[in-house]
């Protein structure tokens, strides 16, 4: 039982980093949580005022803000908050009298919730979503853009010919576009946005393969050592039992000696002499 526990403990230690590495982060669940949390955090919000929301400590590094607007004002003026310039002539669908826009900056959590194969994030992932402001927990609205596109302004970054704008849609789609203006991306819908560059995929794959094989090799080696030790202990016990058995059999087959008292001591004695001594020469001087 003790050896089995040791083996299982070693498997747990080796596999726990892999299990943690497979943990998934759902962006849709995050958006729903942030929307509900922002609504509860503001008791009596005023229309047209941007409120910064302090998230729980386990979301440290994210930035969230919310603003409520009338649909009529949103149509005529648009919204210019956070990283986004939302132009006029946009209709929320289905139509609502008031809407709430939730802005997000995922910061150092960007790569946990979003991933672009063969690309690396240059900026944090930022996004916004529009919701009906009259009821809590309402579904995200769709936007019908009748005029200019939405502009996403990122912090100033060095110009690079390989820079790409990427948009993560609310339906899970991923769209790429060229950057026509430095540090600015153009969008025709809401969602999450970032700037990416191509990453050296081959080197990354080699490192990942090396790490995986190292972990597998280390695990196999440790398990092998444990099994060898267990087999060695088992063989030692079997050999020892075999030797003891031989000794017992020999003791049973040997002839028992009688005992006699010599003075105050008890000593073994033979009943007789099997071979009588004989003189080599009968000559007696």
Q: What is the 3-state secondary structure (H, E, C) of 23-55?
A: CCCCHHHHHHHHHHHHHHHCCCCCCCCCEEECC
Residues 129 and 140: beta-carbon distance below 8 Å: yes
From CA 39, how far away is CA 56, in angstroms rounded? 14
Residues 62 and 55: beta-carbon distance below 8 Å: yes
Q: What is the mean pLDDT of the chain?
A: 80
Give the per-residue pLDDT at 1: 46
Helix (H) or strand (E) segment spanning residue 111: helix 110-113
Please state which of the ranges 74-78, 128-132, 258-262 shows the lowest mean pLDDT: 258-262
Q: Tell me the pLDDT tens digit for each residue of 147-197.
A: 999 999 998 887 777 899 999 998 888 999 998 888 999 999 999 999 999
Give the per-residue pLDDT at 123: 94
pTM of the model as a whole: 0.62
pLDDT at residue 245 is higher than 60: yes
From CA 199, how far away is CA 117, in angstroms rounded? 9
State the average pLDDT over residues 52-78. 94
Determine phi and psi for 248, rounding to 5 degrees: -65, -40
What is the band of 285 on the pLDDT scale with cuts at 50, 70, 90? low
State the average pLDDT over residues 34-62. 92
The fold adopted by the segment(s) 25-199 is Chondroitinase Ac; Chain A, domain 3 (2.60.220)
pLDDT at residue 15 is higher than 70: no
The number of residues making up the chain comes to 285
Q: Which two tokens stand for residue 14?
A: 């080796």
Give the per-residue pLDDT at 2: 47
Domain boundaries of the chain, sorted by first residue: 25-199
Q: Which two tokens stand for residue 186?
A: 């153009």
Classify each residue of 20-35 as buried b or exposed e, where b means 16 or more C-beta atoms within 10 Å of its C-beta: eeeeeeebeebbeebb
Most confident range (mean pLDDT) of 2-11, 24-33, 197-206, 254-263 is: 24-33
Percentage of residues in the chain with pLDDT exceeding 90?
Answer: 47
Most confident range (mean pLDDT) of 2-6, 121-125, 135-139, 171-175 is: 121-125
pLDDT at residue 13 is higher than 80: no
Tell me the β-bridge partners of 184. 153, 181
What is the band of 112 on the pLDDT scale with cuts at 50, 70, 90? very high
């Amino acid at each position: 039982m003790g050896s089995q526990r040791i083996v299982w403990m070693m498997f747990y230690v080796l596999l726990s980093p892999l299990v943690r590495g497979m943990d998934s982060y759902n962006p849709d669940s995050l958006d729903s949580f942030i929307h509900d949390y922002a609504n509860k955090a503001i008791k009596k919000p005023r229309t047209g005022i941007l409120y910064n929301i302090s998230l729980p400590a386990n979301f440290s590094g994210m930035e969230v803000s919310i603003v409520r607007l009338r649909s009529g004002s949103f149509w005529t003026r648009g919204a210019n908050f956070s990283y986004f310039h939302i132009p006029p002539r946009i209709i929320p669908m289905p139509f609502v009298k008031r809407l709430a826009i939730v802005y997000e900056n995922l910061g150092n959590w960007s790569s946990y919730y979003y991933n672009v194969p063969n690309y690396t994030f240059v900026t944090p992932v930022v996004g916004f979503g529009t919701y009906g402001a009259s009821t809590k927990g309402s579904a995200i609205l769709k936007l019908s853009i009748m005029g200019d596109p939405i502009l996403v302004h990122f912090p100033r970054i060095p110009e690079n010919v390989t820079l790409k704008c990427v948009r993560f849609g609310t339906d899970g789609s991923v769209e790429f576009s060229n950057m026509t203006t430095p540090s600015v991306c153009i969008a025709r819908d809401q969602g999450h946005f970032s700037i990416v560059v191509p990453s050296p995929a081959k080197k990354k794959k080699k490192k990942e393969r090396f790490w995986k094989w190292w972990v597998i090799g280390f695990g196999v080696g440790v398990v092998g050592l444990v099994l060898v030790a267990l087999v060695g202990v088992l063989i030692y016990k079997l050999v020892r039992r075999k030797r003891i058995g031989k000794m017992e059999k020999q003791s049973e087959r040997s002839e028992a000696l009688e005992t006699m008292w010599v003075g105050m001591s008890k000593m073994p004695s033979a009943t007789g002499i099997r071979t009588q001594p004989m003189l080599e020469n009968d000559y007696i001087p």
